[in-house]
Amino acid sequence: MSDNDGKKTLGLGGSRPSNVKQSFSHGRTKNVVVETKRKRVVVPKPGAAKPATGSGKSSPVGGDPSKRPAGISDVELERRMKALAMAKARESEEAAKREAEEKARAAEREARRAEQEAKEAEEREREERAKAKAAEDERKRNVEAQAKAAAAAPPPDAAVPGEAAVSRPTAAPRKAERPNDDRDSKGKAKPGRGGDDGRRSGKLTLNDALTGREGGRQRSMAAMKRKQDRARAKAMGVSAEREKVFREVAVPEAITVSELANRMTERVADVVKALMTNGIMATQNQTIDADTAELIVEEFGHTVVRVSDADVEDVLQAVEDKPEDLQPRPPIITIMGHVDHGKTSLLDAIRNAKVVAGEAGGITQHIGAYQVTTDSGAVLSFLDTPGHAAFTSMRSRGAQVTDIVVLVVAADDAVMPQTIEAINHAKAAKVPMIVAINKIDKPEANPDKVRTDLLQHEVIVEKMSGDVQDVEVSAITGQGLDELLEAIALQAEILELKANPNRAAEGAVIEAQLDVGRGPVATVLIQNGTLRQGDIFVVGEQYGKVRALINDKGERVKEAGPAVPVEVLGLNGTPEAGDVLNVVETDAQAREIAEYRENAAKEKRAAAGAATTLEQLMANAKADENVSELPIVVKADVQGSAEAIVQAMEKIGNDEVRVRVLHSGVGAITETDIGLAEASGAPVFGFNVRANASARNTANQKGVEIRYYSVIYDLVDDVKAAASGLLSAEIREKFIGYANIKEVFKVSNVGKVAGCLVTEGVARRSAGVRLLRDNVVIHEGTLKTLKRFKDEVPEVQSGQECGMAFENYEDIRPNDVIEIFEREEVERNL
């Protein structure tokens, strides 16, 4: 066998050589031989196509049997023909099916296109209407402006309000949200996303994360599903544009940009871009106000729903009770009057107790709530208020929650200032009044004087032909108590007091305190509904769950109905006296309402204490320069007493000195109070409370003064005395004499000396002098010398002559008058 086996050898026989001239820099050239391949033309042999034409597959149905291939029988040929016919039938069926599917898809596309065109036409029509309306509004404004200023030229056409909102597409499709999902920023295929199957491949390994593959992230299943949906929609010929959904967006007083984007279901970047378009540079974590948020929401085509933080209190809205649900309830009676007129003693006689024996100084300093069952079986709820002038707020609260006011007036003392105040509180609360003339057993009692004095304040009793009941009583002997209870029962029957016990409880805090063993405790008078153990409630800025209920006798009860006073345990803090207690459904609601109230109170206090402008700040600072302050720290046993003390302290002072309460609270004196007092140089006043051991030790170390009081009189008097010590002494002038200048002499080494005659009083060298000329003060100063003949004398009596020389002043003339006076300091008191 030869080496080439009949094959052609490799060479240049099949190519065409040609010369090409190459040019290089600096004028160099080079000739290069280039080969051009010739195209090979394949010519078919003459008998090559004959076997193909004679095959069974290519022969037509019913072909000539004489031309069939050799070795094929008639049966085989018939079978092949049938198979060919079936294949052609299947092809025709599939073609028909494909044609039907194509027609259905075309019809669906046409329907979608028609629907889209209808929507676009509707949108265009709406935009045209909006443009027409805006143009009409603009035309009306221009006409009005021209009418107002006929001489002025018409203003240039302003941009139509809402033009941006009209011109922008309302359903802007988010095209190219991911321009190329399978490409990275350099155009290369992303690993794990290549291929047509669109599946996630592999796991994220430490190597991939370090080398930057996938940026440390893998596509989520939701992203893969969206991609597959887009691919499926694209294959079906459906447009990828999605119809925009317009929503109602709740906009509070302040909202972050990201939260606003979430509520609108828009991209944060789009919202930030819209803010920048409106001239507001804000990031996604910054807060914008409600007006700005409303502008952005409307720009995106959504509907704005303005909400307020106060909406959290909507759950506490009062519900009107049906008449068939109302049941009779006991009346609430408040005992009011001047201090030491026998209010508590009268209540003791009614309830057969000895409460007054436990009061410091024999006066009531707390609000007390009691229930009394009369001999007839009627249940009465009594509130006992203090009569001291400092407890105005307590009396006001008592009048607000009461049904009947019993005004106690001593028959031997008549109407006093706190009696008048109690009358005003009762009138302001619009509650009926019953006058109890107490101490009728005293020899000096004069009930008619009481009735006459009440006429001056528009209180006309029945004995004076009025409509106010009056009863003469004695807390010592018990005289008239039955008549008083009968009058109360009659008045309660007239009022027809009813309440619905089968609803969420609502009540008023009468008093609040911080008990060492029980924590914060509030005395609550239930006004409506029934308070049960385990109820969740909110009261003022505090909330809690009822852990225990204790009645006025110290007994634990499971529930308290309308007009029942109880002590409530389970609060998270001490509420303010006068706060309203409301029962809510969940702990989350109670916490949310309490937090809102706390923030609102904090903002209110900050706004009240801050100056709004720099001028006000400077004015306040300048005004405070000349004011001396006495700082104090007050701790009391109950909230009402602390409030009364703070109000009494605010009334102490004048333009030069004032009392500043650094901190007031309820409970024992703690180390924190001592630290605050030490930092401010303030004393600590404890009203019916004591300092604990650590606080006492700290106070001894730091030299902080702690004073204990049980009667509010003593506390107020001591603070007044301490504040009076900050007052500067009053300087008073006392005129002691007059002298007339007869002649003026010049003396060497002395200057001008006035020869004077003392006409009135006495002239002293240590006193101050004024020079009067025609009854006008020319000079005020001191004497340099006072001589009688040639001798220096301390004083010169009236009718004697003397020589006077002024210190640093020599403009003296004959007939001038010298006024001699002395200054003395007088201590001042508040």
pLDDT tens profile 506-523: 888 888 888 877 888 888
**How confident is the model at residue 217, as a pLDDT?**
60
Q: At what angle do helices 712-724 and 639-650 cross, to 10 degrees?
A: 30
pLDDT band at 5 (very low <50, low <70, confident <90, very high): low
Is residue 319's pLDDT more than 80?
no
Highest mean pLDDT among 10-24, 87-101, 164-178, 477-491 belongs to 87-101
pLDDT band at 209 (very low <50, low <70, confident <90, very high): low
The string of pLDDT tens digits covering residues 326-342 is 888 888 888 888 877 87
Residues in the chain: 830
Tokens of 119: 């929507």
**How confident is the model at residue 270, as a pLDDT?**
92
Average pLDDT over residues 361-383: 69
Average pLDDT over residues 643-658: 81
CB 754 within 8 A of CB 796: no
Dihedral pair phi/psi, residue 29, rounded to 5°: -135, 165
Average pLDDT over residues 27-49: 67
Contacts 24+ apart (CB under 8 A), 129-136: 130/162, 130/166, 131/160, 131/163, 131/166, 134/160, 134/161, 134/162, 134/163, 134/166, 135/160
**How confident is the model at residue 173, as a pLDDT?**
43
Is residue 277's pLDDT more than 80?
yes
**How confident is the model at residue 741, as a pLDDT?**
92
Q: At what angle do helices 290-299 and 268-277 cross, to 10 degrees?
A: 110
- Report how far Cα 459 is from the mean position of its chain's Cα atoms: 44
**How confident is the model at residue 37, as a pLDDT?**
67
Average pLDDT over residues 185-203: 48
Is residue 567's pLDDT more than 80?
yes
**How confident is the model at residue 351, as a pLDDT?**
74
**How confident is the model at residue 614, as a pLDDT?**
64
Return the minimum-mean-pLDDT range out of 37-41, 108-112, 428-432.
37-41
Cα–Cα distance for residue pair 422/441, rounded to 1 Å: 24
Return the minimum-mean-pLDDT range out of 10-24, 59-73, 565-579, 667-681.
59-73
What pTM does this model have?
Answer: 0.51
Cα–Cα distance for residue pair 686/665, rounded to 1 Å: 10
Average pLDDT over residues 404-420: 85
Q: Which residue has the higher pLDDT, 61 or 520?
A: 520
**How confident is the model at residue 420, as a pLDDT?**
86
Query: Which of 736, 730, 735, 754 is CA-nearest to residue 744?
Result: 754
Tokens of 112: 């979608």
**How confident is the model at residue 50, as a pLDDT?**
45
Q: pLDDT averaged over the chain?
A: 78
Return the minimum-mean-pLDDT range out of 237-246, 290-299, 737-746.
237-246
The H or E element spanning position 537 is: strand 536-539
Cα–Cα distance for residue pair 396/508, rounded to 1 Å: 13
pLDDT band at 466 (very low <50, low <70, confident <90, very high): confident
Amino acid 621 reads A
The CA distances from residue 404 to 311, 353, 368, 494, 501, in Å, are 35, 22, 16, 11, 21
Over pLDDT 90: what percentage of the chain? 10
**How confident is the model at residue 52, as a pLDDT?**
42
